[in-house]
Amino acid sequence: MNVLVTGGAGYIGSHTVHELINQGFNVVVFDSLENGYKEFLPKTAKLFQGNLENKKDLEEVFSSNKIDAVIHFAGYALVGESMENPVKYFHNNLANGINLLKTMKKFNVNKIVFSSTCATYGIPEKLPLEESHPTNPVNYYGLSKKLFEQVLESSKINFIALRYFNAAGAAFGIGEIHNPETHLIPIVLEAALGKRDSIKIFGTDYPTKDGTCIRDYIHVLDLASAHILALKSLEEGKSGVYNLGTGKGTSVREVIDLCKEITGREIKVIEEERRPGDPAELVAFPLKAKTELNWEAKYNIRDIIKSAWDWHSKHKSI
């Protein structure tokens, strides 16, 4: 099968491209390289550097390759930035996504796997989060993803939207880099490496077991395997939205303690005020993906941190 992977040089995209190639898929990566790194791609992946905004770029990649299905990772993913610049998020995550769908229709490609997020749910009314939970996003990032899910539902293209919980971990000699870095695990590991003086805990008065926020961390390799199963399910005619999480929550303090144990380093911790917009707890109910996609997370939080440490402690900079 020939798969076009938008955003395939980014963090989750590049891990998925490695897994696709390992499983015998032919892959064309479409990436602007704004937040992607060609060094992250396996040699056998074909890279087309282009922008979803440009119809010409899209038409060129679809006319010069036979595409059977698309995995659409490309998009912006910083919650804080989306609150400062919502239009940037609607432009890239919604309007540019629509450009992609229009081109798919023009070239008769009717299967897409879409990177969605648990940020579509907003503040949980009931935990763990099931796919049927109301979607009332509390930030523009989550809203842009929710709106694109709705576009997919109305598009008559067969789609599977995967709502990721907290992606983390590393494999294939590549890892997690964001600029600026805002995610907990890379920040804690940078503190362990001495690249930062300390780690700030945003809020210690949440109604959780130790007062800090709880998240469902999911290994990027588990996300990669879910995309491949989603492609297979699309072939079988399945469609819809699926949570990708482990079903187990880990608090910020537990993440820091595990990082101390795994790295063997001291990590200075500063307790700060809450960060605006952080729900106390986000944990997936992952049963739908298990029963319908035959997917289940294989890795736990310890595996995730070990793999991330292995990469962070070796890589210098790109």
Measured in whole angstroms, the distance separating CA 258 from the mean position of its chain's CA atoms is: 22
Which has the closest alpha carbon to 244: 216, 272, 266? Answer: 216
CB of 68 to ligand UFG, least distance (A): 29
Q: How many CB atoms lie within 10 A of CB 52?
A: 25
Under the binding rule (CB under 6 A), the answer on residue 184 touching ligand UFG is yes
CB of 114 to ligand UFG, least distance (A): 14
Under the binding rule (CB under 6 A), the answer on residue 41 touching ligand UFG is no
CB of 187 to ligand UFG, least distance (A): 5
CB of 121 to ligand UFG, least distance (A): 8
76 in active site? no
Candidate residues 200, 238, 265, 306; the one interacting with ligand UFG per rule CB under 6 A = 200
Catalytic: which of 76, 89, 141, 242?
141
Burial of 213 (0-12, 13-18, 19+ CB in 10 A): buried
Under the binding rule (CB under 6 A), the answer on residue 213 touching ligand UFG is yes
- C-beta of 20 vs 244, nearer to ligand UFG: 244
Q: Which residue do the tokens 């009717």 mark?
A: 110
Beta strands 111-117 and 69-72 are parallel
CB of 224 to ligand UFG, least distance (A): 17
CA distances from 264 to 189, 192, 302, 306 (A): 11, 9, 14, 12
Using the contact rule CB under 6 A, the part of the chain among 10-18, 37-45, 117-125, 169-177 near ligand UFG is 117-125
- C-beta of 183 vs 238, nearer to ligand UFG: 183
Restricting to residues 69-108, name those near ligand UFG by CB under 6 A.
77, 79
Helices (H), 30-139: 55-64, 79-84, 86-89, 96-106
For the sheet with 214-215, list strands across it: 250-251, 214-215, 281-282
- C-beta of 25 vs 89, nearer to ligand UFG: 89
CB of 157 to ligand UFG, least distance (A): 24
Candidate residues 30, 141, 172, 311; the one interacting with ligand UFG per rule CB under 6 A = 141
Q: Which residue do the tokens 């648990």 mark?
A: 118
Distance separating alpha carbons of residues 94 and 288, to the nearest angstrom: 26
Q: Are 236 and 306 in contact (CB under 8 A)?
A: no
Under the binding rule (CB under 6 A), the answer on residue 196 touching ligand UFG is no
Using the contact rule CB under 6 A, the part of the chain among 68-76, 104-112, 179-187, 224-232 near ligand UFG is 179-187
Measured in whole angstroms, the distance separating CA 106 from the mean position of its chain's CA atoms is: 28
Which has the closest alpha carbon to 282: 217, 186, 185, 216? Answer: 216
Under the binding rule (CB under 6 A), the answer on residue 133 touching ligand UFG is no
Using the contact rule CB under 6 A, the part of the chain among 60-68, 169-177, 182-190, 241-249 near ligand UFG is 182-190
Peptide bond into 207 cis (omega under 30): no
- C-beta of 62 vs 165, nearer to ligand UFG: 165
Under the binding rule (CB under 6 A), the answer on residue 252 touching ligand UFG is yes
Which residue has the closest beta carbon to ligand UFG? 213
Element (H, E) at 228: helix 220-235
Active site (catalytic) residues: 141
Binding site for ligand UFG (CB under 6 A): 77, 79, 117-119, 141, 166, 182-184, 187, 199-202, 213, 215, 252, 275, 278, 282
